[in-house]
């Protein structure tokens, strides 16, 4: 059976309903696509047999009229999400051979609604990176230009959707790790409000920043996935008890909103000219849709990246202490005593970027520098959060480009971490302040590389974000 490329679950469910396709047919199609695109290095494990078996089960349930809301959705999960009985290793050698013994809440919830997990996806080691070059499984390639990076850290998850290897992916976003690769690959990436989705089963990078988020082709699929994944969870005490709105139904909302855009995003020399131009066009489109669009300033922008790197590395240095070669994962065969067991296992098991961030974070927390770095950064985070909240007193949404450049070449920035970190300049604010943000495709640059447009909302205002992003996307799609 030949299967066309679907852009949303609703298209698939229509075809399922009229018998034009089956879940088994869909899974077979995606398995073939995965096979044809091995060179993109997207999946680190494919669950072919299991996915086919699940497809038959879902097909049977559809016959009985008992299928879940996500029946027909074939998804991939980033290699930082626990799925019981399956390997998970955060793109790291230190978790060589590790098998998860429980399932992440977010993953369980989509499975319970009959989504089919087809495999686990390559990413930057421990979600640390903006190019997917920091993986023990090797770099992922951008399907738009295989010499270029897909962005990171959820690079595999973005390319999987871009190249049609599955309908949607679950990624994680600590500083832009869902939105930046979505922008580089021309797909939709949603980072929910911090604590909107349970982190149970998400391998931690920086606990107070980490968010699980969907990567999709359509805004409506992002809304649907968020609706299914969000909400209280007995395994995560930090998750919000706020009611979960019917995000999918709320996509129809169409009230005029006040949208502010960061001047830097359309004026700064540091942003590619094509991206500035496309951003202006998107803002014009929003105005045409009836929204108020005004420039805003955010003077703290220059402090966002340093704050982010001090706090995330501090948390990471502690979160990654459990990988010590004692209980599971990689243990150096060269260890001779306890100290060398730790040193060798961790030196050999972690890659350069992870080691760099552990060292930075350990330094930031060390007694002599604690107040100068960790305490100061916590204070600045509070200022950024307050200033962001103040922005949302005047505006419903804040618009920016997702990235200052389009996808760069593999290897181009690998030797310059600071240059690499700048790729996240527009995305990290949402993580530092804990608010939701979405990246929607916004055309391409003159070389044909995808550009992303970002909208950010006040905490728990995902519904506004999704409805505006959805209309923007529809409008863009009309001429195409």
Partner 1 sequence: MEVLEKYEMVIGLEVHCQLLTATKIFAADSNQFGSEPNTNISVITLGHPGTLPKLNRKAVELAVRMGLACRSTITQYNLFARKNYFYPDLPKGYQLSQDKTPVCVGGEVPVRFRDAGGQTLEKAVRLHHIHLEEDAGKSIHEAGQWDTWLDYNRAGTPLIEMVTDPVIRSGEEAAAYLTEVRRLVRYLDICDGNMEEGSLRCDVNISVRLKGEERLGTKVEVKNMNSIRNVQRAIETEFRRQIEAIETGQPIIQETRMFDAATGQTAGMRVKETMNDYRYFPDPDLSPVVISDEWLAEIRAGMPALPKERYEKLLAHYGLPEYDAALISDARELADYFEAVCTRTANYKAASNWIMGPVKAQTSEKNLREQQFPLPADKLAELINLVDSGQVSFSTASQRMFPVLIEQPEKSAEQVAREQNLLQNSNTDSLLALVDEVLAAWPDKVKEYKKGKKGLLGLFVGEVMKKSKGSADPKLTNELIQKSLAL
Half-sphere exposure of 101 (CA within 13 A, CB side): 2
Instruction: Please confirm, yes or no, whether 153 is among the known catalytic residues.
Output: yes
CB of 274 to partner 1, least distance (A): 38
Instruction: Please confirm, yes or no, whether 413 is among the known catalytic residues.
Output: no
Chain residues binding partner 1 by CB under 8 A are 80-82, 88, 90, 95, 98, 100-102, 104, 199-204, 206-208, 234-238, 314-315, 317-318, 320-324, 326-328, 338, 342, 362, 365-367, 370, 374
Indicate if the alpha-carbon torsion angle 304, 431, 9, 201 is positive or negative: positive
Buried b / exposed e over 343-357, threshold 16 CB at 10 Å, is: ebbbebbbbebbeeb
Would you say 212 or 275 has its CB closer to partner 1? 212
Q: Are 397 and 178 in contact (CB under 8 A)?
A: no
Would you say 127 or 271 has its CB closer to partner 1? 127
- Compute the residue count for the chain: 480
Q: What is the enclosing helix (H) or strand (E) of 35?
A: helix 23-36
Q: Are 473 and 440 in contact (CB under 8 A)?
A: yes
Which residues does 160 contact at the CB level (< 8 Å), separation at least 6?
A: 42, 43, 76, 121, 166, 169, 215
Can you state the angle between helices 219-229 and 9-17, rounded to 10 degrees? Answer: 90
Q: Which listed residue (82, 92, 157, 177) is catalytic?
A: 177
Q: Which listed residue (8, 78, 92, 317) is catalytic?
A: 78
Q: Are 266 and 282 in contact (CB under 8 A)?
A: no
Q: Are strands 397-401 and 168-173 parallel, antiparallel or unpaired?
A: unpaired
User: For residue 178, what are the CA distances in angstroms to 112, 251, 264, 472?
Assistant: 23, 21, 22, 19
Would you say 443 or 459 has its CB closer to partner 1? 459
CB of 198 to partner 1, least distance (A): 9
Q: Within a 10 A sphere around the Cβ of 474, how many other Cβ atoms?
A: 13
Joined together, the tokens standing for residue 238 give 């930090």
Would you say 347 or 419 has its CB closer to partner 1? 347
Q: What is the enclosing helix (H) or strand (E) of 74?
A: strand 74-78
CB of 430 to partner 1, least distance (A): 17
Joined together, the tokens standing for residue 53 give 């078996």
CB of 161 to partner 1, least distance (A): 23
CB of 130 to partner 1, least distance (A): 22
CB of 49 to partner 1, least distance (A): 25
CB of 330 to partner 1, least distance (A): 13
What is the rounded distance in angstroms from the CA atom of residue 77 to the CA atom of residue 120?
A: 5
CB of 462 to partner 1, least distance (A): 21
Q: Are 316 and 360 in contact (CB under 8 A)?
A: no
DSSP E strands in 386-480: the ranges are: 397-401, 437-444, 450-457
What is the residue whose two structure tokens read 């016959």? 63
Q: Which listed residue (92, 131, 135, 153) is catalytic?
A: 153
Q: Are strands 188-191 and 211-216 parallel, antiparallel or unpaired?
A: antiparallel
Cα 106 to its chain centre, rounded Å, is: 13
What are the residue numbers of the active site? 78, 153, 177
């Amino acid at each position: 059976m030949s299967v066309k490329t679907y852009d949303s679950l609703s298209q698939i469910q229509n075809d399922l309903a009229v018998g034009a396709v089956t879940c088994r047919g869909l899974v077979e199609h995606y398995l073939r696509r995965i096979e044809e695109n091995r060179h993109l290095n997207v999946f680190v494990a494919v669950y072919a047999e299991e996915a086919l078996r699940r497809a038959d089960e879902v097909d049977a349930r559809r016959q009985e009229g008992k299928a879940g809301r996500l029946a027909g959705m074939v998804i991939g999960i980033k290699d930082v999400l626990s799925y019981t009985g399956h390997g998970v290793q955060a793109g790291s050698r230190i978790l060589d051979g590790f098998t998860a013994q429980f399932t992440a809440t977010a993953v369980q919830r989509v499975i319970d609604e009959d989504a089919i997990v087809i495999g686990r996806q390559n990413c930057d080691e421990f979600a640390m990176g903006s190019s997917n070059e920091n993986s023990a499984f090797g770099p992922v390639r951008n399907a738009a230009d295989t010499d270029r990076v897909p962005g990171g850290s959820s690079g595999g998850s973005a390319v999987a959707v871009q190249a049609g290897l599955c309908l949607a992916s679950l990624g994680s976003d600590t500083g832009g790790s869902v939105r930046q690769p979505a922008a580089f690959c021309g797909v939709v990436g949603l980072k929910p409000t911090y604590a909107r989705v349970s982190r149970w089963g998400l391998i931690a990078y920086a606990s107070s920043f980490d968010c699980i988020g969907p990567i999709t082709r359509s805004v409506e699929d992002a809304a649907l996935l968020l609706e299914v994944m969000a909400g209280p969870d007995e395994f995560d005490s930090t998750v919000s008890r706020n009611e979960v709105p019917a995000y999918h139904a709320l996509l129809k909302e169409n009230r005029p909103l006040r949208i502010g855009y960061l001047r830097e995003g359309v004026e700064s020399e540091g942003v590619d000219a094509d991206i500035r131009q496309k951003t202006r066009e998107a803002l014009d489109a929003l105005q045409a849709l009836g929204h108020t669009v005004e420039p805003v300033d955010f003077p703290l922008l220059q402090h966002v990246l340093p704050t982010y790197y001090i706090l995330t590395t501090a948390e990471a240095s502690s979160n990654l202490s459990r990988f010590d070669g004692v209980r599971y994962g990689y243990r150096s065969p060269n260890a001779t005593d306890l100290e060398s067991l730790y040193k060798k296992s961790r030196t050999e098991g972690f890659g350069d970027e992870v080691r760099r961030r552990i060292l930075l974070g350990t330094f930031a927390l060390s007694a002599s520098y604690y107040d100068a770095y960790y305490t100061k950064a916590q204070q600045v985070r509070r200022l950024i959060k307050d200033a962001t909240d103040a922005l949302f007193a005047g505006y419903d949404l804040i618009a920016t480009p997702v990235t200052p450049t389009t996808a760069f070449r593999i290897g181009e920035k690998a030797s310059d971490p600071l240059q690499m970190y700048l790729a996240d300049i527009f995305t990290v604010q949402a993580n530092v302040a804990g608010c939701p943000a979405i990246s929607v495709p916004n055309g391409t640059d003159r070389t044909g590389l995808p550009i992303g447009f970002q909208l950010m909302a006040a905490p728990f205002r995902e519904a506004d974000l999704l409805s505006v992003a959805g209309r923007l996307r529809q409008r863009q799609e009309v001429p195409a």
